[in-house]
Chains A and B, each alone.
Chain A
Amino acid sequence: MRNLLNFLTRYNNLIIFLFLEGIAFYLLTTGNNYHNSRLLNSVRGMTRGIEARIYNTTSYLSLHEINENLAAENVALKNSIGKLVRKENSLFSTVNDSVNKQQYLHTSAEVIENSINRQKNFFTINKGESQGIKVDMAVISASGVAGVIVGCSKNYSVAMSLLNLDFKLSARIKSNGYFGSLSWDGRDYRYAILSEIPQHVIVNVGDTIETTGYSAIFPEGVIVGTVSDYEKFGGDFYKISILLMTDFKKLHFVDVIGNMKKTEQLELEKLFK
């Protein structure tokens, strides 16, 4: 007993040190698992008020640019509505299919907190469970892919940005349909890497890269970016550098996309695995 007390008094600082580092390490390993992000949500809840206030000020300063972007998007949407209306009118049957007609549900949201300078970046949006946001929904900006929802509270959600070492996306070259795996290498916030494209495929600088829709998260054909550079990598594959369409440095308005048939697809696929 006496020895134990001696030991404790002699090494008490080391013990405190190890204890505190133990807590920190526990937070680090459990907290970074954003799929059970309870801790994260409660932690972010404390600072959200301040973040929202900072966001209010900064967003006011860039209103002009946002307006321009929204106007441009409106024009594009109006054009596509025009096309759709014409197509529907030319149909013979008028089957009102309320179950299967719509596969993807869009919800618009604002980004209230964002980072691009870490290795694992996340952003927060101002919609949550009450507005129908769920984990694993896709997030796109007006110009392209932005991220995936990984945690929701009542009125807010945290999304894993494409600029995250853990982010993986199935993407393909639009012109020939060959698909590979898209990820970020942590270097530059404007570029991502597309790998697993075999070397016999013809790749050109400027080719458009889009999503495949294989993952049941992103709809098919969402633009990711364009090929900016490619090199041979390993024996058989290219390592293609993609210039991202989304400018993560000014991510403001995003669309959250829910796939209404996701459970159906996943359950069917599970039968064969």
Chain B
Amino acid sequence: MINSILRFGLIFILLILLQVLLFNNIQFSGYVNPYVYILFILLLPIEIPAWLLLLLSFATGLIIDFFSGSPGMHTFATVFAGFVRPYVLRIISLSDGYESGPDPSMLVYGFRWFLSYTLLIVLVHHTTLFYLEVFRFADFFRTLLRVLLSSLFSITFILLIEFYRRGK
């Protein structure tokens, strides 16, 4: 228990630092803003109680908001992603169900499962985030393009991080 709290604390800090120091500074044509910190929500154990998941999502979003000077935006999107995570897990569940022990990582459930899991949650998160940022439906398709391109980059970076973890 203590062990896993320590481990997730470390992952949490590393991902926040990575996001704030590296990915927030990627300024590539205004269409690509990868948000990799959402990986923290993806990695939390499957049997985590929903209320704890929501609170952790809230904390993650709030800290990212502090560092990007955008009060509420990331908080809203991350809490929403945390809320849909149990439903996503149910939709893409494996035929023999989930094991109770391990975290939902690529290491345990394989590449294809992890890809669809990441894809769904990143899309939910980015769609909420980018439409909240613009806060209007004018330029609907341009925002959609930003969502898709940024999601592509976020997912790529998340998979790279997971491959790196698997390689170790």
Of all chain B residues, which has the CB nearest A45? B66
Interface residues on B, range: 20 to 34
B interface majority secondary structure: helix
CA distance A28 to B67 in the complex (A): 15
Q: B69 and A25: CB pair below 8 A?
A: no
Q: Which residues of B contact A142 (CB under 8 A)?
A: none
Interface residues on A, range: 35 or more
Task: Give the number of residue pairs across the A-B interface with Cβ within 8 Å.
Answer: 92
* B62-83 CB contacts (< 8 Å) to partner A: 65-67, 69-73, 75-76, 79-80, 83
Q: Which residues of B contact A13 (CB under 8 A)?
A: 50-51, 54, 83
For residue A259, CB closer than 8 A to chain B, the reply is no
Q: Which residues of A contact B30 (CB under 8 A)?
A: 116-117, 186-189
Residues of A within 8 A of B (CB): 12-13, 16-17, 20-21, 23-32, 39-40, 43-44, 46-47, 50, 54, 113, 115-120, 122, 158, 165, 186-189, 249
Closest Cβ of chain A to B21, distance in Å, is 7
A interface majority secondary structure: helix
Q: B75 and A27: CB pair below 8 A?
A: yes
Q: Which residues of B contact A16 (CB under 8 A)?
A: 50-51, 54-55
Q: B27 and A117: CB pair below 8 A?
A: yes
Q: Which residues of B contact A50 (CB under 8 A)?
A: 20, 67
Q: A47 and B132: CB pair below 8 A?
A: no
Q: Which residues of A contact B27 (CB under 8 A)?
A: 115-117, 249
Give 24 A-B contacts (CB < 8 Å), ordered by A residue: A12-B51, A13-B50, A13-B51, A16-B50, A16-B51, A17-B54, A21-B79, A24-B58, A24-B76, A28-B73, A28-B75, A31-B72, A32-B71, A39-B71, A43-B66, A47-B66, A117-B26, A117-B28, A117-B33, A119-B133, A119-B134, A120-B133, A165-B134, A186-B139
